[in-house]
A and B are shown apart, each in its own frame.
Chain A
Amino acid sequence: AQSVSQHNHHVILSEAASLELGCNYSYGGTVNLFWYVQYPGQHLQLLLKYFSGDPLVKGIKGFEAEFIKSKFSFNLRKPSVQWSDTAEYFCAVKGNSGYALNFGKGTSLLVTP
């Protein structure tokens, strides 16, 4: 089954620092990849997704992710974080059946003023 792993469980950054959260997927075939964000006390929101085409995907709130097939990676980046980016971030891959998303364990990001 397709799965993703997120290596950073907790990240602490100062405002204006650059962010990169790692995500690696397990499947070598066609994959559909997602990044979701969960702000404290809120539901999940889609940041961006990759299905095909340009491997550099732009999302909302200044986030982007790059699909690197040779590295089985889909890392999330933001050049300058803000305090309001404090949240939990989940990478996800569409499952084999195409009917479900398999989520990573999440990365908790704390941005300090």
Chain B
Amino acid sequence: EAQVTQNPRYLITVTGKKLTVTCSQNMNHEYMSWYRQDPGLGLRQIYYSMNVEVTDKGDVPEGYKVSRKEKRNFPLILESPSPNQTSLYFCASSTSKVLGATDTQYFGPGTRLTVL
């Protein structure tokens, strides 16, 4: 089954304690990205990756890092989490980096992060 998986699904942590949210897709997609969803703000892109070792900033990259060492994985790293990073995070991947008419973007189930 084609899917994007994220772990953990729920996480409560404290300010400053480094954490990593993993994202993995089994569809051999080149393009992957991370979004955060906040009430009243919709989804905002944090980082994206067009291929292995190719990453770039989205709209709200501050406080986040990513890596793309393998095609299937795109972890999101919070080196020093702060309460304003409390949010619902979605990983996504798509059949093409161009997001053309025949492409489909798949979203993961989400990770709800609370930073105290």
- Asked if A99 meets B101 with Cβ closer than 8 Å, knowing A42-B109, A44-B90, A106-B42, the reply is no
Q: Mark B44-67, 1 if CB is under 8 A from A, else 0.
A: 110010100000101100000000
Interface residue tally for chain B (C-beta within 8 Å): 27
Count CB-based A-B contacts (< 8 Å): 55
> Is B81 in the interface zone, CB < 8 Å from A?
no
Contact among A43, A51, A98 with B90 in the assembled complex (CB-CB below 8 Å): A43
Min CB–CB distance A35 → chain B (angstroms): 13
Interface residue tally for chain A (C-beta within 8 Å): 23
Please give, as numbers and ranges, the residues of chain A lying within 8 Å of B105 by CB-CB distance. Answer: 46, 101
| B56, closest chain A residue (CB) | A99
Would you list which residues of chain B between 21 and 53 have a CB under 8 Å from chain A? Answer: 31, 33, 35, 40-45, 48, 50
| B50, closest chain A residue (CB) | A99
Please measure, in the bound complex, the distance between the C-alpha atom of A49 and the C-alpha atom of B97, giving whole angstroms. 17
Please report whether the interface of chain A is mostly helix, strand, loop or mixed according to DSSP: loop
Contact among B56, B58, B100 with A51 in the assembled complex (CB-CB below 8 Å): B100
B58 touches A100 (CB 8 A): yes
A43 touches B99 (CB 8 A): no
Please measure, in the bound complex, the distance between the C-alpha atom of A17 and the C-alpha atom of B59, giving whole angstroms. 37
B48 touches A105 (CB 8 A): no
Please give, as numbers and ranges, the residues of chain A lying within 8 Å of B4 by CB-CB distance. Answer: 43
> Is B75 in the interface zone, CB < 8 Å from A?
no
A46 touches B104 (CB 8 A): yes
B43 touches A90 (CB 8 A): yes
B31 touches A99 (CB 8 A): yes
> Is A73 in the interface zone, CB < 8 Å from B?
no
- Chain B positions within 8 Å of A, measured between CB atoms, are 4, 31, 33, 35, 40-45, 48, 50, 56, 58-59, 90, 97-101, 104-105, 107-110
Q: A43-B107, A44-B90, A99-B98 are in contact. List 16 more A-B contacts (CB 8 A).
A: A6-B42, A9-B40, A32-B101, A43-B108, A44-B107, A51-B100, A52-B101, A90-B43, A92-B43, A98-B98, A99-B97, A100-B99, A101-B99, A102-B59, A103-B42, A103-B43
Nearest 5 interchain pairs by C-beta: A51-B101, A103-B43, A105-B42, A103-B42, A44-B107
